[in-house]
Amino acid sequence: MLQHNFVQRFGLFCVLPAFLLPGGCQTTATAWTKKISLHKTTLPTECSGWEKMLIKSRTRYDLARYDPQLLMNIDAHNLRGRNLGCWK
C-alpha cells in the first residue's frame, strides 16, 4: 500500500512539470509590448536634491501662530521650486 501511494505521487510529480513547461517557456512579444517606452523627465540642475515641503493644515496653523517667519520661508522654498519647474 505504501509503495503504491509513493509511485502515484512520484509519477504525478514527474509528469506535471512536463505539462507545465511548454507553456511557461514560450516568451513571444505581443504588439503592445513593443510600444511601451519609458520617458525620463529631465529636471533643471537647480532641482537636484530639492523636494517640496508638505505641511499639514494643523502644522501650518501652529507655524502661523508661533513662527510665521518659518512658514514664510517654507512657502518661499515651495514657490521657488515651482517657478524653477522642479514640481507643480
Does residue 75 belong to any structural domain of this protein?
yes
Each residue of 57-87: pLDDT tens digit? 999 999 999 999 999 999 999 999 999 888 8
Does residue 12 belong to any structural domain of this protein?
no
On the question of pLDDT at 5 being above 80, the answer is no
CA pseudo-torsion sign 25, 26, 29, 33: negative
Does residue 68 belong to any structural domain of this protein?
yes
The range of the structural domain enclosing residue 74 comes to 57-88
Each residue of 14-40: pLDDT tens digit? 555 665 555 555 556 565 555 666 666
Q: What's the domain count of the chain?
A: 1
Distance CA 4, CA 8 (A): 6
Does residue 87 belong to any structural domain of this protein?
yes
Distance CA 72, CA 63 (A): 9
Band of pLDDT at residue 53, cut at 50, 70 and 90: very high
Query: Which residue, 79, 29, 32, is CA-closest to 53?
Result: 79
Does residue 17 belong to any structural domain of this protein?
no
Band of pLDDT at residue 55, cut at 50, 70 and 90: very high
Does residue 30 belong to any structural domain of this protein?
no
